[in-house]
A and B are shown apart, each in its own frame.
Chain A
Amino acid sequence: MISRRDFLQVGMAASAIVGASGFGNWARLAAQQTLTQDQLLEFDTFGNVSLIHITDIHAQLKPIYFREPSVNLGVGGNKGAVPHVTGADFRRLYGIEDGSPSHYALTHDDFASLSQAYGRVGGLDRVATVVKAIRADRPDAILLDGGDTWHGSYTCYQTQGQDMVNVMNALQPDAMTFHWEFTLGSDRVAELVESLPFAALGQNIFDAEWDEPTELFPPYKMFERGGTKIAVIGQAFPYMPIANPGWMFPEYAFGIRDENMQAMVDEVRAAGAECVVVLSHNGFDVDKKMATVVSGIDVILSGHTHDALPEPALSGETIIVPSGSNGKFVSRVDLDIRDGRMMGYRHKLIPIFSDVIAPDPDMAALIDEQRAPFEAELSEVIGQTESLLYRRGNFNGTWDDLICDALLSEREAEIALSPGVRWGPSLVPGDDITREDIWNVTSMTYGNAYRTEMTGEFLKVVLEDVADNIFNPDPYYQQGGDMVRTGGLGYRIDVNKPQGERISDMVLLTTGEAIDPARNYVVAGWASVNEGTEGPPIWDVVEAHIRKLGTITVKPNNSVDVIGA
């Protein structure tokens, strides 16, 4: 649950930067530990095949801050199982020392303080350095991109994904799968995919009209590496037309399609594959279940839910490797493939500390070239923040609190709704807020900020529906986002109840009155999946709000009372 204590900690950690409270000690501890590129890349090359996995970059070309969630609840059989372990519990589970680089990279607490010592993460020029280093060890390593690559920034939006395609092509991936890419619209997706010098995979991307596989997205690709045959099967995000606007890509149908996955595994095995790798955008818990339903998968490279784990999770005989998001991590997995099977593996989740890993000069130049036409718009300072601005968490984050405030104020609404997406980097106290920063947390092709009326009864239906997409005990019914964020509306949620019974005690925060099922409320929100949604783009709404305030301070948010965590 989101306790008052958690919020206090965030507040205290943030204030430590200015006020030097006891929490600031982590920064000092951290600074004493020296970290080198060689340490980050150190790897005892193993077996005969190497996989390199990066996923959910969300168009973050440059280094950013990214705070991991403090609240990430598992339900049903996954209650208390990774990745649904956060903070100190996560560190104890993996033996991570407080104040260490892994603490900063993998957990949320003392984030603002530790960020002073460890700095930004990611940057595809740094990722390029890491990929090159791995290829120096193993020239035929297979680089796989798990998707959510062509979405999430100002330049990606303006170039309709071209900036990301140009930069990723320079990294020379071997295959990719998809999710947010489809929100560019099916024509643009087809245009970009046809231009790719590598495989665009998705065994679950079907033609919607005939429910048949497509030519554009083959199910798998075979690689002959290290004296063996490896099959990489793509698995796109199963619920694209439901979680995103299906009218933007009406030609395609998705779904988990685990029966077809089994058929593909059998087909590649019959064709001589000694190792089967699934490049997945299912989300972690769906991957974990799929590994128990489909037999014969050796490795699932897991994306979508933005989890990062320092070691693979085992499900049946399959290892699951989740590699984080926003360019913050690269996974290296070395495999020993012999006698028709995977005999062993060695794995490292490499955090991309941008101050430690040297940028690759060619890639840095290529990235700057993509950004150059937009530099003036990107770098304009709109305001400053005194608070840590982050998004991740099942129920709220300070970025979304700010966005909801902007909607309430700029759209003159009683209640604001903001989608529970998991992308969007963080800003630390004292940072300028640039236009680029605002676009990093709002950019999308359906970002119009609507204003409408909803009855109290319908608001409950919305909350119940979204809650079931996250907390349904069967992972196959989970869509992998977080709870819709609410502004002006408080509620209680029991995550273990069935749909229709989770949400209670809804209150209008301005008056403290209970939400009346029969009354109409003025609601502002964004990211509607309905065609023809009208309103100003959300980034303009947020920019106008920040410009008026000048300096942002986000108050603690106790409006969601969580039960059953």
Chain B
Amino acid sequence: MELTRRNMMVLSSAALAASSIGVLPAMASLADEQIAELTGGAEMVEGELSISAPEIAENGNTVPIDISAPGAVMVAVFADGNPTPAVATFKFGPLAASHDASTRIRLAATQNVIAIAQMQDGTFQRASAEVKVTIGGCGG
């Protein structure tokens, strides 16, 4: 067998999730719910918080992300297309020299990676990046 069943399943699960747009809102709302719980429904503004991730994941099982959150005491990361959206929470103490964090996360499909930062004054900032998970195949 040329394309192994395992490969095909990997392909179809990734692609299936990417194409079943009908499923996304349900998961997105799960992420929204968890974010609302975290912030207590507080309004979020854009600020110096930034998240950097590849536009297209080279491997959906290990996607590198970097977060820069000057002035934050806490940053929580969510993947809104994963069955369990909450990914990680980073806390920065008052003596933290830098407010940056890097990690790798697993993404089931094309989705948004969302960072929510809690600032020293208790306000929240939000930043997100869309990461595409694709079958790939034909480059020029």
Q: Is B33 an interface residue (CB 8 A)?
A: no
A533–B3 CB distance below 8 A? yes
Q: Are B139 and A452 in contact (CB under 8 A)?
A: no
Q: Distance (Å) between the CB of B70 and the closest chain A CB?
A: 16
Q: Is the CB of A468 within 8 A of B138?
A: no
Answer whether A242 and B136 are a contact pair too, CB < 8 Å, given A462-B15, A477-B55, A530-B3.
Answer: yes
Evaluate contact between A465 and B138: CB separation under 8 angstroms.
no
Q: Note all chain B residues with C-beta closer than 8 A to A50.
A: none
> In the bound complex, do residue A534 and residue B138 qualify as a contact, i.e. CB atoms below 8 Å apart?
no
Contacts of A465 in B (CB 8 A): 15, 18-19, 134-135, 137
A128 CB to nearest chain B CB (Å): 25
Residue A177 interfacial (CB < 8 Å): no
- Chain B residues, CB < 8 A from A254: 58
Cβ 8 A contact of B15, one of A419, A422, A461: A461
* Least distance between B7 CB and chain A CB atoms (Å): 5
Q: How many Å lie between the Cα of A237 and that of B139 in the bound state? A: 9
Given contacts A450-B3, A480-B140, A481-B139, contact A469 B15 (CB under 8 A): no
Shortest Cβ distance from residue B133 to the other chain A in the assembled complex, whole angstroms: 10
Task: Indicate with 1 or 0, residue by residue over B8-23, a CB within 8 angstroms of chain A CB atoms.
Answer: 1001100110110100
Q: Which residue of A lies closest to B58 (CB)?
A: A241
A contact residues around B137 at 8 Å (CB): 243, 419, 465-466, 469, 484, 527-529
B112 at the interface (CB under 8 A from A): no
CA distance A283 to B140 in the complex (A): 9
Q: Is A116 an interface residue, CB under 8 A from the partner? A: no
In the complex, the answer to whether A421 meets B3 with C-beta atoms within 8 Å is no
Contact with B along A93-104 (1 / 0, CB 8 A): 000000000000
A473: interface (CB < 8 Å): no
Chain A residues near B110 (CB-CB < 8 A): 499
Question: Per-position contact with B for A151-176: 1 when CB-CB < 8 Å, else 0?
Answer: 00000000000000000000000000
Within the assembled complex, what's the spacing in Å between the Cα atoms of A165 and B30? 54
* Contact of A255 (CB < 8 Å), options: B4, B8, B58: B58
Q: Are B138 and A461 in contact (CB under 8 A)?
A: no
Closest to B15 in A: A461
Residues of A within 8 A of B58 (CB): 208, 239, 241-242, 246, 253-255
Chain B residues contacting A532 (CB-CB under 8 Å) are: 4
Q: Is the CB of A461 within 8 A of B19?
A: yes
Closest to A468 in B: B134
A517 to chain B, nearest CB (A): 12
Cβ contact of A477, chosen from B18, B56, B64, B140, cutoff 8 A: B56
Q: B18 to A421, Cβ gap below 8 A?
A: no
Beyond A422-B140, A423-B140, A530-B4, whether A241 also contacts B135 by CB under 8 A is: no
Q: Name the residue of chain A whose CB is nearest to the CB of B135.
A: A465
- A240 interface residue (CB < 8 Å to B): yes
Residues of B in contact with A, size category: 20 to 34
Contact with B along A411-422 (1 / 0, CB 8 A): 000000001111
Question: Smallest CB-CB separation from A256: which chain B residue?
Answer: B55
Chain A: which residue is nearest B57 at the CB level? A242
Q: Output the nearest chain B residue to A304 by Cβ-Cβ distance.
A: B140
Given the contacts A211-B64, A462-B15, A452 and B2 also touching, CB distance less than 8 Å: yes
In the complex, the answer to whether A527 meets B138 with C-beta atoms within 8 Å is yes
Q: Which of B55, B59, B135, B139 has the most CB of A within 10 A?
A: B139
Selected from B21, B55, B140, the residue in CB contact (under 8 A) with A476 is B55
Among B90-140, those with CB < 8 Å from A are: 102, 110, 132, 134-140
Residue of B nearest to A479 (CB): B139
Asked if A484 contacts B138 (CB within 8 A), the reply is: yes
State whether A179 touches B139 (Cβ < 8 A). yes
- Least CB separation from A208: chain B residue: B58
Interface residue tally on A, bucketed by range: 35 or more
A535 is an interface residue with CB less than 8 A from chain B: yes
Digitize A199-241: 1 where CB-to-B-CB distance is under 8 Å, 0 elsewhere. 0000000001001000000000000000000000000010111
Would you call A240 and B1 a contact (CB within 8 A)? no
User: Of residues A211, A242, A462, which shows the largest number of chain B Cβ atoms within 10 Å of its Cβ?
Assistant: A242
State the Cβ distance, A247 to closest chain B Cβ, in Å: 10
Contact B138 A421 (CB under 8 A): yes
B39 within 8 A of A: no
Cα distance A259–B16 when bound, in Å?
A: 32
Q: Enumerate chain A residues within 8 angstroms of B132, measured Cβ to Cβ.
A: 468, 477
**CB-defined contacts of B54 to chain A, threshold 8 Å:** 255
Given the known interface contacts A499-B19, A500-B21, the answer about A458 and B12 at a Cβ–Cβ threshold of 8 Å is yes
In chain A, positions 451-502 with a C-beta closer than 8 Å to chain B are 451-452, 454, 458, 460-462, 464-466, 468-469, 474, 476-477, 479-482, 484, 499-500
Query: Which residue of B2, B55, B59, B140 is within 8 Å of A246 (Cβ)?
Result: B59
Quick one: which of B15, B56, B59, B102 has the most chain A CB within 10 A? B56
| Structural contact, A528 and B3, CB atoms closer than 8 A | yes
Chain B residues with Cβ below 8 Å from A477 are 55-56, 132
Which parts of A278-322 form the interface with B (CB within 8 Å)? Answer: 283, 304-306
- Chain B nearest CB: distance from A294 CB in Å? 14
A244 in the interface (beta carbon within 8 A): yes
- Residues of B with C-beta under 8 A to A451: 2
In chain A between 25 and 64, which residues have their CB closer than 8 angstroms to a CB of chain B? 56
Chain A residues with Cβ under 8 A from B135's Cβ?
461-462, 465-466
Question: Closest residue to A56 on the B side, CB-wise?
Answer: B140
Query: Chain A residues with Cβ under 8 A from B136's Cβ?
Result: 239, 241-243, 469, 479, 529
Chain A residues, Cβ within 8 Å of B19:
460-461, 464-465, 499-500
User: Which of B1, B2, B4, B138 is the one whose CB lies under 8 Å from A448?
Assistant: B2
A241 proximity list for chain B (CB < 8 A)? 58-59, 136
Q: How far is B33's CA from A315's CA once the two chains are assembled, in angstroms? A: 42
Report A-chain residues with C-beta under 8 Å of the C-beta of B21: 500
Complex Cα–Cα for A396 and B134 (A) = 22
State whether B7 touches A243 (Cβ < 8 A): no
Across the interface, which residues of B come within 8 angstroms of A283, CB to CB?
Answer: 140
Given contacts A419-B138, A420-B138, 5 further A-B contacts (CB under 8 A): A241-B136, A253-B58, A255-B54, A465-B137, A529-B137
17 contacts between A and B (CB under 8 A): A208-B58, A211-B64, A240-B139, A241-B136, A242-B58, A242-B136, A253-B58, A259-B52, A452-B2, A461-B18, A469-B137, A477-B55, A499-B110, A528-B3, A529-B137, A530-B3, A532-B4
